[in-house]
Structure 1
Amino acid sequence: MLISKLYLKNFRSFDDEGTTITLNNLSGFVGENSSGKTALIHSLVKLFGVSSHERSLEKSDFHIPKQSKVESIKELNLSIEARIDFPELLEESQDTLSRTNIPPFLINS
């Protein structure tokens, strides 16, 4: 299993235009302060966190543009999407271990 793409829109430092981040087998996040590195990690926690507290949204999770007044905003849409690939399903010679690690409803028989 591999998370290959993340799409973030109106989440923390990611604005309403939306941003797609492509990930590889080994990805690192490098950037200036306030560029979104921590927000990216927090978006993964919002999707895959163990506890319901980790997965719940808070007011501070929403991106508010600098020129906007919070009192004037009535509604905001926030999106966090992850693309999950299963490269082990595409391999010609699937070993028993990789097949047993994938839920049965995801395997095309």
Structure 2
Amino acid sequence: MRPIWNSAVRIALVLCAFLLVELLLSLPFNGLLRDPNTVTTWLQAHVSELLIWRLCLYATVLRGWCWMRARLLQREPEAAMRLRRAEGAAAIALLLVELVNARFGWEVP
């Protein structure tokens, strides 16, 4: 019973840490979010930085996915086809999201 308790505590601490970081990062933006025009202007001014952030996020998720995929295929080798379909769907979804972001990022108000 002890290892489960330790895992639950670790997960709770990580979630609390993420929440704290999110709150600390959102404080400077409280005034910014009151006016939609200000938000739009800020987003358009920071398109490249947000793209870099998303690419870093995608790389991190991809690394975790590769690790998880290898472990899953060791346990269930017959899952390879299902994983390929899921990976293809995820790649198409991300491509569409980035195309939409690129279209709106290039517009001038």
Q: TM-score scaled by structure 1?
A: 0.26
Structure number with greater Rg is 2
Higher strand share: 1
Greater relative contact order (Cα < 8 A, sep 6+) = 1
Higher helix share: 2
